[in-house]
Amino acid sequence: MQTDLLWVYDGLTSYLGDLLTARSGERNPDQARDSLALIAADIDHRSGRVWRDLQDTADGVPSMQGASHGWSDYRRGLDYYDEDVLNWLWADVIIRQQSKGAKSLDDFCKLFYGGQSGPPMLKTYTVDDVMNTLNQVAAYDWRGFWTERLTNHGPRGPLSGLSGSGWKVVYDENPSQLTRANEHNGKEIDAHYSVGLFLKDNGGVSDTVEWMVGAKAGIGPGMTIVAVNGHKFSADAWHDAIAAAKTSSTPIELIVENSEYFRTVKLDYHGGEKFPHLVRDESKPDLLSEIYRAK
């Protein structure tokens, strides 16, 4: 209720929600992994991680809940939801490794959330309760683990749990079914992992990833891309320009509107489309499939 433990209340709930949709068959294994790939890629590209820690994204809820979408990648939004999907996956992997497969986060949930049968009751908890219960399941420096997860300012996301589960994020030019659905439903163009732009299908710039080529060229939230390589902006014109740049040294030329002003922006980018997927790391046990397996 005081926000400091939202990484449990909401973060663990997010992890369990994704886990249970996979176990129940609501998502098939490919869909479950595609969802996790998007979370991992999004957090791994979160430019605001260089200055704002995860705990502060929860502590700031009362004052930041209604903030505008613009600059949210650098400001950070409610990241304690998605980033803690990665953190609790990491905790699950640690428990399985420490116990040599005998226990998992399921055992923590039984101890932490379980109790005597009877009518519903209000059961509050403290951070010590969380740490003590984790240690009952598998002895580990859990306080150090969670302190690092909640207070670090690393430039990239916490992907060690994902890699420890036997999978890794890769990028290619083929959007997943989930990415296609997100683009269609949100009327968006996913240029997040190529040039670092969050685009609407009308050319509007919703946000930027500050350390990537789009932001470095001076494009920012609230602007509108009206033309691409001399063509009126459209999703097809955008994708054609990204594809053509792969085999050319010529920068992609944009005309960008900012309020009542127009200017030409050149994106020196030649890496093609980039969409995230998970692939197996055969050098490690496949713990993720075991985590998602129906019980």
Residues of the chain above pLDDT 90, percent: 88
pLDDT reported for residue 1: 64
Calculate the CA dihedral of residues 225, 230, 233, 235 and round it to 10 degrees: -120
How far apart (Å, rounded) are the C-alpha atoms in residues 262 and 260? 7
CATH topology of domain 188-267: Pdz3 Domain (2.30.42)
According to the model, what pLDDT value does residue 63 have? 76
pLDDT at 290: 97
The average confidence (pLDDT) of the chain is: 95
Query: Could you report the per-residue pLDDT of 204-260, keeping only the tens digit for each?
Result: 999 999 999 999 999 999 999 999 999 999 999 999 999 999 999 999 999 999 998
- pLDDT tens per residue across span 83-115: 999 999 999 999 999 999 999 999 999 999 987
CB-based contact 4:124 (threshold 8 Å) = no
Segment 15-34 shows an average pLDDT of 96
pLDDT of 295 above 90: no
Spell out the residues 6+ positions from residue 6 whose beta carbon is closer than 8 angstroms to its own. 58, 61, 80
Cβ within 8 Å of residue 278, ≥6 positions away: 33, 34, 36, 37, 40, 162, 167, 168, 169, 170, 288
For residue 120, the model assigns a pLDDT of 83
Query: CATH 1.10.390.10 in the chain, residues?
Result: 6-172+277-292
In this predicted structure, the answer to whether residue 31 has a pLDDT above a threshold of 90 is: yes
Range in 91-100, 115-124, 262-271 with the lowest mean pLDDT: 115-124
Distance of CA 174 to the CA centre of its chain: 19
The tens digit of pLDDT for each residue in 39-88 reads 999 999 999 999 999 999 999 887 776 777 789 999 998 999 999 999 99
| Domain covering 6-172+277-292 in this structure, CATH number | 1.10.390.10
Give the whole-angstrom CA distance, residue 23 versus residue 29: 9
Structure tokens at 226: 């009206």
Residue 119 has a pLDDT of 87
Confidence of residue 151 (pLDDT cuts 50, 70, 90): very high
